[in-house]
Amino acid sequence: MWLARLKNLALACGAFCLGAQAVLAAPLAASPNSHAASAEFRRPVAIAAEAKSDAGKTRLTFVLSAPVEARSFAIERPDRIIVDLPEVNFQLPAETGRRREGLVSSYRYGLFAPGRSRIVVELSQPALVSSVEAATRPADGAALLTIELTKTDREAFRRSAKPELPAVPDPVSTGSVASKGEDRRPLIVLDAGHGGIDPGAVASSGAFEKDIVFAFAQRLKARLEHTGRYRIAMTRDQDAFVALDERVRMARAAKADLFISIHADSISAAPHIRGSTVYTGAERATDVESERLAERENKADAVGGVEARETASEVADILQDLTMRETRGFSHRFTKRLLGALDPVMPLSKKPHREARFLVLRAPDVPSVLVELGYLSSRKDIDLLTSEAWRERSAAAMTSAIDRYFGARVAGHGAPTSP
Ligand SMILES: [Zn+2]
């Protein structure tokens, strides 16, 4: 039975993954390349995973279509075991890894960087990897990867944990976006929050923020492209981890005219709170909640098992300071138009424009906003956020806000005019 399932998966993946793989090699690229198909068929598929414990040990076993090499290390605060793998296509049930089992409080998995996947195991108490075993299951030839964790004490864990998180892998080349000389249409970078091993907030329905905001970003991209007035790039074109400063770097390198980061927050203690909020970057947060939200969002790199890096914009420089001030003026103007357009299609939160120190909003020269579409802790918001009709309506509303913004900003320079 396993073998039959493995074959089906390999076949089912062919067409879809051709595009996905190409985008991974160049996130801002528009067209797939033909080398991707053969690589895809070599990518092992994970079809099952389970955790079992006894006598101070917990074993985490992944069932794969082909053997993989694994490398593990520990990180403290919070205590985690990171397992690095070559690229694996995880086809696991949605609830996989969410339940506590022995030494494992939860685990997640996903694409980490081009050609690399990662499993992040959150520990319920200090534990170390005592063995990593690869075996073949005789019944069906499936490859088993077993990571055995053994309980240890705080001191021993601390000694073996990496003192610092490893840096983000080298960014992918993004040379394919047409330069301004060739195409004068404004370039908008859409940034679907989280991705890969970082699921973002989790809805009460079990849905992940990373999937909800990705579906929305794709809808918005299609809508904007349909107007023919803009060039659109995505910071991620699939379910992959992208570090925060890499998202900013992509927008700056491509000389984007607007950067829109898309998220959906959750406050489990207050399921009645709902509505959209638009955030702009600032050194000082508008209020405590915004400050906390920015802290949570800024932790995305740590969730992926890498260290958050401050961007070059940290450097105090009077010229940069002036540029930043002017850019923030544009961000505020866009926010106003965006809230005006969203108002009829989505209830707005009590204070719909807020500011906080989001790492992803730190490009000094690209007007940037972060949109929290709604709250995944609100039943009513989830119903909207996961509805195709709402996605269509709100993508249309955002498109008209973008039209107005660019119409006002650069009218008379071959740019779009107000509808
Ligand atoms: Zn988020």
Report the amino acid identity of residue 295. Answer: E
Q: Tell me which of 33-37, 81-85, 115-119, 199-203 is least confident.
A: 33-37
Tokens of 172: 């992918």
Tokens of 218: 């794709």
Q: How far is CA 44 from CA 64, 198, 241, in A?
A: 6, 21, 19
146 with 210, same domain?
Answer: no
125 with 269, same domain?
Answer: no
User: Distance from the CA of 153 to the center of ligand 1, in angstroms?
Assistant: 34
Domain membership of residue 116 as a residue range = 43-160
Q: Alpha-carbon distance 268 to 307, whole Å?
A: 27
**Alpha carbon 347 to chain centroid distance?**
25
93 with 235, same domain?
Answer: no
Q: Model-level pTM greater than 0.75?
A: no
| Helix (H), strand (E), coil (C) string for 287-354 | CHHHHHHHHHHHCHHHHCCCCCCCCHHHCCCHHHHHHHHHHHHHHHHHHHHHHHHHCCCCCEEEEEEE
Q: Tell me which of 225-229, 296-300, 412-416 is least confident.
A: 412-416
User: Distance from the CA of 209 to the center of ligand 1, in angstroms?
Assistant: 7
For residues 293 and 323, which has the higher predicted lDDT (pLDDT)? Answer: 293
385 with 333, same domain?
Answer: yes
Angle at 331 between CA 350 and CA 403, to 5 degrees: 95
218 with 156, same domain?
Answer: no
The string of pLDDT tens digits covering residues 259-281 is 999 999 887 777 888 899 999 99
Mean of pLDDT values over 28-53: 66
pLDDT tier at 35 (50, 70, 90 boundaries)? very low
354 with 210, same domain?
Answer: yes
Q: Alpha-carbon distance 197 to 200, whole Å?
A: 9
Residue 151 sits in a domain whose CATH number is: 2.60.40.3500
374 with 272, same domain?
Answer: yes
User: Distance from the CA of 294 to the center of ligand 1, in angstroms?
Assistant: 9
User: Distance from the CA of 42 to the center of ligand 1, in angstroms?
Assistant: 33
Strands 187-192 and 231-234: parallel
For residues 290 and 11, which has the higher predicted lDDT (pLDDT)? Answer: 290
**Alpha carbon 136 to chain centroid distance?**
33
Tokens of 255: 């000389």
Residue 388 sits in a domain whose CATH number is: 3.40.630.40
Q: What is the pLDDT of residue 167?
A: 52
49 with 125, same domain?
Answer: yes
User: Distance from the CA of 263 to the center of ligand 1, in angstroms?
Assistant: 4
Quote the number of domains for the chain. 2
Q: Tell me which of 73-77, 236-240, 374-378 is least confident.
A: 73-77
Q: What is the pLDDT of residue 163?
A: 62
Q: How many CB atoms lie within 10 A of CB 233?
A: 23
DSSP 286: S
User: Distance from the CA of 201 to the center of ligand 1, in angstroms?
Assistant: 6
**Domain presence at residue 22:** no
Q: Alpha-carbon distance 186 to 368, whole Å?
A: 14
143 with 211, same domain?
Answer: no
Q: What is the dihedral of CA 138, 139, 140, 145, to 10 degrees?
A: -50
